[in-house]
Amino acid sequence: MSSPHPRRVCLISLGCPKNLVDSETMLGSLPSEDYRVTTRMDEADVVVVNTCAFLRSARREARFEIRRALRWRGRKRGVLVVAGCLVQYCGRRAGDIFSGADLLLGAGEGNNLGRLLKEITPDCSSSPRVRLRPVPRFPLAEPLPRLVSTPRHWAYLRIADGCENRCSFCLIPSLRGPHRERPQSRVVEEARRLAGRGTRELVLIAQDTARYSGWGGLPRLLERLSDIGGIEWIRVLYAHPRHIDDGLLRSIAALDKVCPYLDLPIQHINDAILRRMGRKIDSRRLRSVLDRARELVPGISLRTTLMVGFPGEGKAEFGRLRDFVRREKFDHLGVFAYSREKGTRAYRFGPGVSGDVARRRRDLLLEIQRDISAALLRSRRGETLDVLIDGPFPEPGSSLMAGRGIFQAPEIDGLVVVEGKGISPGDMVRIRVTDSSDYDLYGASVA
């Protein structure tokens, strides 16, 4: 029997898109007749903080949100759930560290949120219920139906979780476990459900999407997803360059619905640094992957991420990275300063360069990339292209709409700002590019 007064749940999702899918699954585990979702903490009866622990900065953000939720709990006498990677990171100490929470859920426990909430009532005098599995060593559990939080016309589609690359700077294997794949049939089934709700763009995610080896591997999965009616764009994120081969590149080129776009985190180009990072790939192979991608996929847009300040990165090593960025002219590029994390092999290497030096190096690369991006977008002026409209342009009083071209991933790349009447979120609009800035394009719809 449904509750006459459904409980209101506010979920705060931190970290990456993989964590967002976990959050959506948590919300999907809540019976709709018993719960309502709210974005306002002051309206909630239950607050869930789904945490990230990848870097110190992420853990600081998570602890800030938990403290905010604890203040809410003290005022409202509601139920507080702390979930995700930070709980896993703290391990057996989690119950003491987060003693003000009512329920702690480690990695892999989010599916149980709906069932466990039925057993929880707020009681400040008791210790929190702790559901903490060891680092997952089991096949990836099929998620319950998700309450998708992205706009209706696009959604993330997780194909695997965990990682076995074991880069020396990375905590992910200790937090999420080894690489585990969803069966291809289940991925396709979920994609059909998403298409049925109006999804036009699928964004494939995993810790390493290119590692997917289910029946026929990632190329075969892309083929099957391309057969789904209603899906128009399929985009691949988080592909380790070590696992990119000609077969995958040819599939991207051959399948009309697969975006000529690839996100491949490189981290560095100096061979000594790559070895210390444990990347299992050298600079020659990295350059070959980039060259083959541009050769086999005409017009491909490439995104990468780089890390500066890693132990051993002197002026010469950074100089090679700087020159590499100038030469390769990536369409999209992110740069992170190295964060020394306990529990990683790189922690034994020492602190690396000073924080100030690492930040200056990061800023220099971003400045170079800004100029590259501005030049690439200028070259698109006068082009006609299809734009998937995401929503109103976020400027007070503006009547413009914002969307993305096939070369732009949601939430991480630039926008196409469109003027035109009768345009709604989810529309695919043909536009002519009239202007550009460092990261965005501007255009008007054409008949």
Whole-number pLDDT of residue 141: 59
Which of 75-79, 328-332, 422-426 has the largest mean confidence?
A: 328-332
Quick one: average pLDDT of 402-415? Answer: 96
Residue 336: which residues within 8 A CB-CB, separation 6 or more?
A: 305, 306, 307, 308, 362
Question: 145 or 9: whose pLDDT is higher?
Answer: 9
CATH code matching the domain that covers 7-131, chosen among 2.40.50.140, 1.10.3720.10, 3.40.50.12160, 3.30.10.20:
3.40.50.12160
**Residues 415-432, mean pLDDT to the nearest whole number:** 92
At residue 290, the pLDDT reads 97
* Mean pLDDT score, 385-409: 91
CATH 1.10.10.10 fits domain 154-378: no
Q: Output the 3-class SS for 141-177.
A: CCCCCCCCCCCCCEEEEECEECCCCCCCCCCHHHHHC
3-state secondary structure of 226: helix
Name the 3-class secondary structure at 229: coil
So what's the pLDDT on residue 144? 65
Quote the tokens at residue 83: 């979930």
User: Does residue 296 have a pLDDT over 70?
Assistant: yes
pLDDT digits (tens, 9 = 90+) for 338-395: 999 999 999 999 888 999 999 999 999 999 999 999 999 999 999 999 999 999 988 7
Tokens of 338: 């190295």
Closest CA to 230 of 187, 191, 190: 191
Residue 127 gets which letter from DSSP? P
Helix (H, G, I), strand (E, B) or coil at 71: helix
Residue 2: predicted pLDDT? 52
pLDDT in tens, 267-283: 999 999 999 999 999 99
- pLDDT reported for residue 4: 66
Inter-residue contact 5 to 33 (CB < 8 Å): no
Helical (H) or strand (E) element with 319: helix 315-328
pTM over the 0.95 mark = no
Higher pLDDT, 76 or 121: 76
Average pLDDT, the chain: 91
What are the pLDDT digits (tens) for 69-111?
999 998 888 899 999 999 999 988 888 899 889 999 888 788 8
Would the pLDDT of 133 be above 80? no
Residue 91, pLDDT score? 87
pLDDT for residue 112: 84
pLDDT tens, residue by residue, 194-203:
999 999 999 9
Sheet of 129-131: strands edge to edge?
35-37, 7-13, 46-51, 79-84, 103-105, 129-131
Domain 384-445 has CATH 2.40.50.140: yes
Q: Which of 120-124, 181-185, 259-263, 412-416 has the lowest mean pLDDT?
A: 120-124
Contacts of 382 (CB under 8 A, 6+ apart): 432, 433
Read off the DSSP letter of residue 280. Answer: S
Kindly tell me if the per-residue pLDDT of 125 is higher than 60: no
Per-residue pLDDT tens digits for 242-268: 999 999 999 999 999 999 999 999 999
Domain range list for the chain: 7-131, 154-378, 384-445
Name the pLDDT band for 124 (thresholds 50, 70, 90).
Answer: low
pLDDT at 22 over 60: yes
pLDDT confidence bin for 135, thresholds 50/70/90: low
pLDDT at residue 136 in the model: 62
Residue 1 has pLDDT above 50, yes or no: no
* CB-CB neighbours of 392 under 10 Å: 13
Confidence of residue 398 (pLDDT cuts 50, 70, 90): confident
At residue 143, the pLDDT reads 62
